[in-house]
Amino acid sequence: MAIGTGLTEYLESWAGGDAVRKAVAEAVFALAEAGIELAGVCGQGAINPDQGAIVGNNSGGDAQKALDVRSHEIVVAALRRRGVGMVASEEADEAEVLTPGGLVAVATDPLDGSSNIDTNVSVGTIFSILPVEGEASPFLVPGSRQLAAGFVVYGPHTDIVLTLGEGTDIFTLDRSNGAFVLVAEKVSIAPETAEYAVNASNYRHWAAGLRNYVDDCLAGKDGPLEKNYNMRWVGSLVADASRILSRGGVFLYPGDARKGYTHGRLRILYEANPVAMVIEQCGGKATDGTQRILDIDVTELHQRTGLVFGAASEVERIGLYIANPERRGEDSPLFGSRGLFMS
Ligand SMILES: O=P(O)(O)OC[C@H]1O[C@](O)(COP(=O)(O)O)[C@@H](O)[C@@H]1O
Ligand SMILES: [Mg+2]
Ligand SMILES: [Mg+2]
């Protein structure tokens, strides 16, 4: 598809006469419609002072803001209008049937990064589109079953990052006419990087392998990795993922020793799986530290997972550090020539 193609033409041409593809396309249209509405709502900021108010807790135990609840309602209403069969959301304990007989189900984080909402930092809506087949839950399957996935980012511009399983493409909202326009096709992530993203305030809770990796990044050119690293952490997964799509890098949110953080913070169904599919479709990798995210069994809607994704070689390097903490990753062919165990 040519750069500048509208989302409608792009999806209609991809779907053709295939019933499941048409259902996927309808789900993406729904998410685009919800995205336009949410971009407006988020853009109001403090003009609407109640948005940041805490109104309860979601099933993950996170504080739920008024805007989280509103985002959930906007996304669910759009999916219902477009005939999506079922929805599972960060903001609802249970999955909900929207359209009996619908061919696809959507798992969503309706507002990712909502703790940032008052600070005018990019937030977004993450989505995973799965097939509905028989009576079994469409959600309790590995992420490799996703038909499509992506996220909408409400930042200086509103983007939809989308994969239909044939590469990852990016659309930007043209605010003059309300249409999403293809701006980047078949995005690729360079396998090597010297930029990592991690919430380093958790350092003391990490396992030795991860501490060793970050220590070696901090040692820069003088350490075993023999290059200077840069660090970035937005704290909105969609914004950190967008940066990695545009200029490379790796993101780490591992499990750690804090109570409730054994499997990290991020939820596999509607955060890690869709981001992992997007990243793999760019040639990157996504693991829980050692295991491929898309191969992990999902047994609960709000299941958590460690998440490491981005530049393929760096994700592999991090896996070696985690798997062999005592050897500081020196088994890796990617390790610098001055590894700690090398003469
Ligand atoms: O505050 P922390 O521990 O750095 O966690 C940041 C992570 O939490 C999240 O905000 C979780 O998403 P929600 O805002 O949807 O709960 C991610 O977007 C982000 O990567
Ligand atoms: Mg989130
Ligand atoms: Mg959220």
Helix (H) or strand (E) holding 240: helix 237-247
Q: Who contacts 54 (Cβ-Cβ below 8 Å, separation ≥6)?
A: 63, 64, 65
Residues 6+ apart with CB under 8 A from 71: 38, 41, 91, 110, 111, 114, 125
Other beta carbons within 10 angstroms of residue 260's beta carbon come to 10
Q: Determine the atom of ligand 1 nearest the C-alpha atom of 240.
A: 20
Q: What is the pLDDT of residue 340?
A: 45
Task: Give the ligand at the shortest distance from the Cα of 110.
Answer: 3
Both structure tokens of 89? 């959301």
Residue 340 lies in a domain: no
Q: What is the CATH number of the domain that holds 162?
A: 3.30.540.10
Strand partners, 182: 171
Q: Verify whether residue 240 is a known catalytic residue.
A: no
Counting from 1 in the atom list of ligand 1, the atom nearest the Cα of 112 is: 15
| Ligand 2 centroid – CA 237 distance (Å) | 7
Whether 23 maps to a domain, the answer reads yes
pLDDT tens across the length of the chain (343 residues): 899 999 999 999 999 999 999 999 999 999 999 999 999 999 988 888 777 778 888 877 777 888 999 999 999 999 999 999 999 999 999 999 999 999 999 999 999 998 888 899 999 999 999 999 988 999 999 999 999 999 999 999 999 999 999 999 999 999 999 999 999 999 999 999 999 999 999 999 999 999 999 999 999 999 999 999 999 999 999 999 999 999 999 999 999 999 999 999 999 999 999 999 999 999 999 999 999 999 999 999 999 999 999 999 999 999 999 999 886 656 555 555 554 443 3
Catalytic residue among 11, 31, 79, 109: 109
Is 67 a domain residue? yes
Q: For residue 333, tell me if it sits in a domain.
A: no
Active-site residue, selected from the candidate residues 26, 33, 68, 195: 68
Determine if residue 90 is labeled as part of a ligand binding site. yes
Do 134 and 229 have their domain in common? no
Cα–Cα distances in angstroms (integers) from residue 210 to residues 68, 207, 233, 251, in the given order: 32, 6, 16, 12
Whether 341 maps to a domain, the answer reads no
Same domain, 60 and 167: yes
Residues 178 and 226 reside in one and the same domain: no
* 68 catalytic per annotation: yes
Please report the pLDDT score of residue 332 as a whole number.
57
User: For the chain, what is the domain count?
Assistant: 2
DSSP-derived secondary structure for 27-69: HHHHHHHHHHHHHHHHHTGGGSTTTT-EEEE-TTS-EEEHHHH
Of the residues 26, 33, 112, 159, which is catalytic?
112
Is pTM, for the whole model, over 0.80? yes
Residue 204, amino acid: R
Residue 141: exposed, middle, or buried by beta-carbon count in 10 A (0-12, 13-18, 19+)?
Answer: middle
For residue 92, the ligand closest to its alpha carbon is: 3
Distance in angstroms (rounded) separating the CA atoms of residues 273 and 163: 12
Residues 180 and 199 in one domain: no
Query: Do 169 and 22 fall into the same domain?
Result: yes
**Confidence (pLDDT) at 336:** 55
Which of these, 301, 267, 323, 228, lies nearest to 112 by C-alpha position? 267
Q: Where are the beta strands (DSSP E) in the chain?
A: 54-57, 63-65, 86-89, 96-97, 104-112, 123-131, 148-154, 158-163, 168-174, 179-184, 195-198, 230-231, 250-253, 266-267, 285-287, 304-305, 307-310
Q: Is the residue at 233 inside a domain?
A: yes
Ligand nearest the Cα of residue 75 is 3
* Joined tokens for residue 254: 């591992």
Q: How far is the CA of 36 from the centre of ligand 2 (A)?
A: 19
In the block, tokens 């992420």 appear at 143
d(Cα 72, Cα 205) in Å, to the nearest integer? 32
Q: How far is the CA of 202 from the centre of ligand 1 (A)?
A: 13
Say how far apart CA 289 and CA 326 lie, in whole Å. Answer: 16
Could you tell me if 173 and 203 lie in one domain? no
Q: Which residues does ligand 1 sit against, CB inside 6 Å? A: 62, 90, 109, 112-115, 199, 235-237, 253, 265
Which atom of ligand 1 approaches the CA of 115 most closely? 14
- Residue to mutate (ligand 1; options 266, 268, 270, 302; most atoms within 8 A of CB): 266
Q: How far is the CA of 97 from the centre of ligand 3 (A)?
A: 21
Q: Which domain holds residue 143?
A: 7-184
Q: Are residues 75 and 201 in the same domain?
A: no
pLDDT of residue 61: 75
Kindly tell me the sign of the dihedral angle through the C-alpha atoms of 120, 176, 187, 153: positive
- Its sign, for the CA torsion 41, 47, 48, 52, is positive
Q: How many angstroms separate the CA atoms of 338 and 76, rounded?
A: 54
Same domain, 147 and 223: no
Ligand 1 centroid–CA 277 distance in Å is 19
Residue 2, domain member (yes or no): no
Going from the Cα of 1 to the center of ligand 1, the distance in angstroms, rounded, reads 34
Shortest CA distance to 139 belongs to which of 272, 301, 277? 301
Ligand positioned closest to the Cα atom of 251: 1
Q: Are residues 118 and 173 in the same domain?
A: yes
CB neighbours of 73 closer than 8 A, spacing ≥ 6?
Answer: none
* Closest CA to ligand 1's atom 9: 113
- Res 343: pLDDT: 32
Catalytic, out of 37, 62, 185, 226: 62
Are 119 and 157 within one domain? yes
Handedness of CA 329, 296, 301, 68 (dihedral sign): positive
pLDDT of amino acid 317 = 97
Final residue in a domain of this structure, among 127, 153, 184: 184
Domain with 265 in it: what CATH number? 3.40.190.80
Same domain, yes or no: 126 and 210: no
Residue nearest to atom 1 of ligand 1 (CA): 235
Residues 171 and 213 in one domain: no
Strand positions, DSSP E, 148-274:
148-154, 158-163, 168-174, 179-184, 195-198, 230-231, 250-253, 266-267
pLDDT at 63: 79
Q: Is residue 332 part of a domain?
A: no
State the catalytic residue, choosing from 11, 33, 38, 91.
91
